């Protein structure tokens, strides 16, 4: 908490400002979702809690690690060129890529959920102990 306060007060300094705040905040959101995936475990096991836990965990994973990959991609693009001009990758462009990753994961999770609901309707159990 203290470190966060110090960084917030020095956010206008050049080294802190170059830290890609949008991507760092997105990374924090992904980490929070990854940790929040443990919350459904405190409830009685049911089909809904199993599906909810999977959705939260997978979306947190793709947001967290997608942000890390995109941050590395941006740094790679800055050092890629040998010519006089620089390639500039904006945060807006990176967020578009991240939204694409989340959309693919959302489609995967929707298909997974539909398949599991179909299995439950056929008599199989998702919550087998």
> For 83-113, what is each residue's pLDDT tens digit?
667 777 888 899 999 999 999 999 999 999 9
3-state secondary structure of 13: coil
> For 62-91, what is each residue's pLDDT tens digit?
999 999 999 999 888 888 766 667 777 888
Q: 89-96, long-range: CB within 8 Å, 24+ apart, which pairs?
A: 91/20, 91/22, 91/23, 94/22, 94/23, 94/70, 95/22, 95/26
pTM: 0.80
Lowest mean pLDDT of 3-7, 26-30, 63-67, 101-105, name the range: 3-7
Residues 28 and 10: their CA atoms lie apart, in Å, by 19
DSSP line for 35-85: HHTTGGGGSPP-HHHHHHHHHHHHHHHHHHHHHHHHHHHHHHHHHH--SSS
């Amino acid at each position: 908490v203290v470190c966060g306060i110090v960084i917030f007060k020095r956010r206008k300094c050049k080294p802190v400002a170059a830290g890609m705040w949008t991507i760092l905040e997105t990374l924090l959101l992904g980490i929070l979702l990854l940790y929040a995936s443990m919350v459904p475990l405190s409830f009685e096991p049911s089909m809904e809690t199993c599906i909810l836990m999977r959705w939260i965990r997978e979306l947190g994973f793709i947001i967290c690690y997608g942000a890390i990959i995109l941050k590395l991609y941006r740094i790679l693009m800055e050092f890629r060129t040998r010519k006089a001009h620089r390639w500039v990758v904006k945060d807006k462009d990176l967020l578009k890529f991240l939204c694409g990753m989340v959309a693919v994961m959302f489609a995967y999770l929707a298909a997974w959920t539909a398949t599991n609901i179909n299995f439950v309707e056929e008599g199989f159990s998702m919550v087998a102990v």
